[in-house]
Amino acid sequence: MKKKSFFVQYPVFTIFAVLALMIILAAVFAPVICGDRDPLKGSLADSIQPPSREHIFGTDKMGRDIFTRVMYGARISLSATFILVGIVFVTGTVIGIISGYFGGIVDAVMMRTADMMMSFPGLVLAIAVAGILGASIPNAIIAISVVTWPKYARLARSLVLKIRHADFVEAAIVTGSKTPYILLRYMLPNVVPTAAITAATDIGGMMMELAALSFLGFGAVPPAPEWGHMLNEGRNFMQSAPWLMIFPGLAIFVTVVVFNMLGDSLRDILDPKEKAR
């Protein structure tokens, strides 16, 4: 029997992968799509114009083209989100593996720290951290990383504990394998798939948290075209000029949904439990 193509076999994944790719491409090629429009330049004389042929999403308070700002905003939101997810994935996994493998005092210190971080409501702690560091995208990434890494660390630790005393690990130790080798060769491969799925499903959520921080004034600073920040800028005009909020809001919504569904379908493919059913 001829084996079905991967993409045909998983149509949901395929659809959302294509959509996600389109969003990424839109971000990468924003200058091409928007022509010579500058997301930071406008004219106060054209401020708060409703959508028209010239400005299909209308203009904002500074007379800037909202379509251009939404497109360029994808660059900020996507890159910041990927960096954020990358950071928490790497740090969380590494800490979790070390903690699970060595146990004892190392484990106790790391996990109690993680517990401490997790005992606060995430966004509130992130606001506190971002507030202390000052408003900027890198600081927002740091703030959310600080509150998110324990999730990955606990996950990685539990996966490591499952195989810590398995025969093949004991055998490796007995035959004189070096610790770094064991960590890399046996522990890491056991952790990465599950952590990666978690990371994929987290992209949407992380994007929302970054947008939330920017909305609250703890992330992007003006005049950056960041979606959460654009929502905040348009807030006062919610009733009289709703396009100021609708389009950046829609951009957040679409992107978050696409990445959430992509992560979901990826889990459906990779998660052994789902497969077994």
Residues at the interface with other proteins (CB under 8 A)? 40-45, 47-49, 61-63, 124, 127, 134-135, 204, 208, 211-212, 215-218, 221-223, 231, 235-241, 249, 252-253, 256-257, 260-261, 264, 268
Shortest gap between Cβ of 177 and other proteins (angstroms)? 41
The amino acid that residue 58 corresponds to is G
Contact 65, 57 (CB under 8 A): yes
Shortest gap between Cβ of 189 and other proteins (angstroms)? 28
| CB nearer other proteins, residue 106 or residue 133 | 133
Rounded CA gap, 1 and 11, in Å? 20
| CB nearer other proteins, residue 93 or residue 148 | 148
| CB nearer other proteins, residue 134 or residue 180 | 134
The amino acid that residue 67 corresponds to is F
Packing angle between helix 188-215 and helix 243-270, nearest 10 degrees?
A: 170
| CB nearer other proteins, residue 44 or residue 276 | 44
Shortest gap between Cβ of 232 and other proteins (angstroms)? 8
Phi-psi region of 35 (alpha: psi -120 to 50; beta: other; left: phi over 0): left
Contact 70, 247 (CB under 8 A): yes
Shortest gap between Cβ of 60 and other proteins (angstroms)? 9
| CB nearer other proteins, residue 56 or residue 250 | 250
| CB nearer other proteins, residue 8 or residue 105 | 8
Phi-psi region of 134 (alpha: psi -120 to 50; beta: other; left: phi over 0): left
Q: Tell me, rounded to whole angstroms, the distance of Cα 135 from its chain centroid.
A: 19
Shortest gap between Cβ of 185 and other proteins (angstroms)? 35
Rounded CA gap, 231 and 247, in Å? 9
Query: Residue 65: beta bridge partners?
Result: 59
What does each C-alpha distance from 206 to 39, 81, 94, 141, 270 come to in angstroms? 24, 6, 20, 9, 21
Shortest gap between Cβ of 87 and other proteins (angstroms)? 22
